[in-house]
Structures are given as C-alpha cells and as structure tokens.
Amino acid sequence: MSPPSRVSWEEVCGDCGQSFAVGSAVWRCECGGLLDLHAPVITEPVDPTGPWSLWRYAPVLPPLPEAARVSLGEGLTPLVPAAEGCWWKLDFLQPTLSFKDRGAVVLIAAAAGAGAERVVADSSGNAGTAIAAYAARAGITAEVWVPAGTSAGKLAAMSAHGAIVRVAEGDRAAAAAGAARRADEPGWYYASHVYQPLFVAGVKTVAYEIWEQRGRSAPEVVVVPAGNGTLVLGIDAGFGELVAAGLVARRPRIVAVQAAACAPLAGLEPTGTTVAEGIAIAQPPRGHQVLAAIERSGGVVATVEDPAILDARADLARSGVWVEPTAAAAWAAWRDPTVPARSTATVVVLCGAGLKSPGTGGNLPGADR
Ligand SMILES: [Zn+2]
C-alpha cells in the first residue's frame, strides 16, 4: 500500500490522487475513493530505547503527537516453533486478545492527535473491542455499531470498556451504514479498521516483529486468514518497506486463507455459513488491494472447509495453543498438502484467542470482526 519512493507521509486518494493530512478525520475522498497511506523509506525501523510496546517501531509509524500515543503494551507477541520449517506467530496475545490492537492503538492515537472526543466504529467482535479499549485508554467516547444477533459476550466486552453499543436492525452492512451516518455528523471521528489506512499502518508492525525475531530476516512464506484483508495489507506494507529499505532481499509469499463457504478473494460466490466468522466478508471494500498484495508477493488465496478448520483448531489446542476458528483457518491451510504453504521458513499468524469464540459457532457471510 505504500509506494516507498515517497519522501514524506501522506494520505492519498487511490482514485483521484487528492492528498489529506495524516491522521485527519477524513476517511473517504469526496470522489468516493479509498485513502492509502504513503510512507517514506526508513532504514532503521526500531527505536532501541523506545517503549516496550508497538511504539518500539515508532520510526516507521505515522508521525502522531507523542502525547497522543496511548498504549496498553500491545505488540511484541511470541514467535514459537511449530513444526519443521514452521513457526506460529501468537498474535492473539494482545491486550484485547486479537491482532486488532495493533491497528487500534495507532488509529486511536491519530484520533486523539486530531482532538477527537468521540469515535465511532462498526464491527461485531475483535475490531470493536480493540477500538473500545483504546478509546477508553485515551479518554475518548466510543460508539460501536454491531449487527443484530451479535453474541452477548462480545457486547459485554465492548460495554465493559465503556463503549456505547448500537445494535443495527439488520446485518453487518446495516451496522456499517449506521456507523458511516454517525461519522458524517460533526464531531465524530470514524475509527474504521477498513477505511482508515492508519489501521493497517499499525498492523504492519507484525511484519517488523517477525523480521526482528528471525534475526532480521524475512521468512519465505507467511500464512494469514483473510476477510477484509487487513493482515494481508499489513504484511504487504511491512515487508514491502523492509525490501525498499534494503533490509530484506525479497518479500515473503502471502498465503491468504478464506473459509470455503465465503471466499470472494478466490472468486467464489458465498455458499453458506462458516465457523470462521471473522473472515466471513462477502464484499471486502479493499478486496482489489488485497489481491494485488497477494499477487505482488507471489502468493495465493487458499480456501479451507469448516471441518478442516475445526480439526486444525483442535490440533492447535492439543499443542497448547487455543485460538478462535478464524485463526485456526491459517493452520488448516498449512496442514493441507494441496496448499503451497510449506517451505523451509513459514510463519503462520494466529490472530484471535480461543476465548473469543469458545463454542464452534458460526454466522452468516457478511459478518465481520
Ligand atoms: Zn478522490
């Protein structure tokens, strides 16, 4: 997402080229285009004397006021050996138990830096919880729009952080529409994990961590679940920047994993429900960018069936790692001999904790985290 030849930070409309201040409340160009974040080339991405949190990577993060940089000690998650040539990135070990904290901490810092007193988001789980927690940390009021039928546990987590929870009459798209209406009202900052490019700027730190944990080298393959594709875009941005800075020779191949029942990135029509609710996104707004990132890496979109996801989840749990089905989809892909995920150095990103979804559950395509 970041043509690295740029010398300064800016948010740019991908359609008409108009530029916007980094971290501003603008979340979509007036022409309707999506905003992308352009970043300069940084050859020393780590601040060795910096805080022990995601802000360790402040040199490669958007220039936000220091006073606005809230933190809950996010990031810096373990990379542990899983099998011959394979490592698990335990990215669910974050303050709100999912990788979304990486994006939320940067986005809320931007909102705070812009003087926002109220943020609105739409989600039915991990993203909404992360936004609610970091908004609380920053003393900002959060309103989270969720679809009807959102589980009581997720509502409880968001409410516990003090968020105003609005249940839309309808599906995930209805929740997004409600949030977007609110975002257009004066005084509201749209903390969207899909539209705001600063969210992906936080997520990209997972690439920098993997690089550091591997002794400043890139793996050959990274396997991630993909719904809206923020992890794909983060991996693409992070390793793309490392290549541009001359710190790695080539970016890893991205294996983006979707549930077979909802795999638009594989060119398939949704066919039903899936236990991997976090990646059941029928129409990802940044889908074309996600596909471009996968292609740029020489990677593939892989699909896995629900029984394989549940089997992979059980396999992980018996190895000491309990994740939600969405995260287990990545491990299911690695275990599938027809998926080109294995190499001498593969990292499988496990993005959400098992407590997020204790039962096997499932919901309709179009749901989102
Ligand atoms: Zn535009």
pLDDT tens-place string over residues 17-56: 999 999 989 999 999 999 999 999 999 999 999 999 999 9
| d(CA 36, ligand 1 centre) in Å | 11
Residue 345 one-letter amino acid: A
Statement to judge: residues 188 and 256 lie in one domain: no
pLDDT number for residue 3: 47
Query: Are 41 and 244 in contact, with CB atoms under 8 Å apart?
Result: yes
Statement to judge: residues 94 and 105 lie in one domain: no
Out of 117-126, 195-204, 258-267, 297-306, least confident range: 117-126
Q: What would the mean pLDDT of 213-223 be, rounded to a whole number?
A: 98
Statement to judge: residues 281 and 164 lie in one domain: no
Give start and end residues of each alpha helix (H) in 114-252.
126-138, 152-160, 172-183, 197-203, 205-213, 230-244
| d(CA 33, ligand 1 centre) in Å | 5
Residues 6 or more apart whose Cβ sits within 8 Å of residue 181: none
Statement to judge: residues 173 and 211 lie in one domain: no
Task: Please say which residue of 197, 220, 236 terminates a domain.
Answer: 197
Statement to judge: residues 89 and 107 lie in one domain: no
Radius of gyration of the CA atoms of the chain, in A: 19
Give the chain's domain count: 2
Using 50, 70 and 90 to split pLDDT, how confident is the model at 364?
very low
| d(CA 43, ligand 1 centre) in Å | 31
Statement to judge: residues 290 and 230 lie in one domain: yes
| d(CA 10, ligand 1 centre) in Å | 14
Strand 188-190 relative to strand 118-122, pairing = parallel
Statement to judge: residues 231 and 135 lie in one domain: no
Residue 185 belongs to domain spanning: 101-197
Residues 69, 46: Cα–Cα separation, whole Å: 16
Residue 240 gets which letter from DSSP?
A: H
Residues 6 or more apart whose Cβ sits within 8 Å of residue 227: 258, 278, 279, 280, 281, 284, 326, 368, 369
| d(CA 9, ligand 1 centre) in Å | 17
| d(CA 102, ligand 1 centre) in Å | 27
Residues 18, 305: Cα–Cα separation, whole Å: 42
Statement to judge: residues 86 and 214 lie in one domain: yes
CA-wise closest residue to 103 among 78, 80, 133: 133
In a domain, 68, yes or no: no
| Per-residue burial over 5-18, b = 16 or more CB atoms within 10 Å of its CB, e = otherwise | eeeebbbbbbeeee
In a domain, 122, yes or no: yes
Name the helix (H) or strand (E) containing 329: helix 325-335
Is the pLDDT at 335 greater than 60? The verdict is yes
Q: What would the mean pLDDT of 257-281 be, rounded to a whole number?
A: 92
Residues 190, 209: Cα–Cα separation, whole Å: 28
| d(CA 19, ligand 1 centre) in Å | 8
Q: What would the mean pLDDT of 72-99 be, rounded to a whole number?
A: 97
Statement to judge: residues 85 and 121 lie in one domain: no
Statement to judge: residues 156 and 230 lie in one domain: no
| d(CA 237, ligand 1 centre) in Å | 21
pTM to 2 decimal places: 0.94
Statement to judge: residues 232 and 320 lie in one domain: yes
In a domain, 131, yes or no: yes
| d(CA 285, ligand 1 centre) in Å | 15
| d(CA 61, ligand 1 centre) in Å | 24
pLDDT number for residue 149: 74
Query: Are 155 and 145 in contact, with CB atoms under 8 Å apart?
Result: no
Environment of ion ligand 1 (residues, CB < 5 A): 13, 15-16, 18, 29, 31, 33
| d(CA 30, ligand 1 centre) in Å | 6
| d(CA 4, ligand 1 centre) in Å | 21
Statement to judge: residues 171 and 249 lie in one domain: no
Q: What would the mean pLDDT of 238-261 be, rounded to a whole number?
A: 98
Using 50, 70 and 90 to split pLDDT, how confident is the model at 7?
low
pLDDT number for residue 170: 79
For residue 109, what is the domain's CATH number? 3.40.50.1100
| d(CA 104, ligand 1 centre) in Å | 25
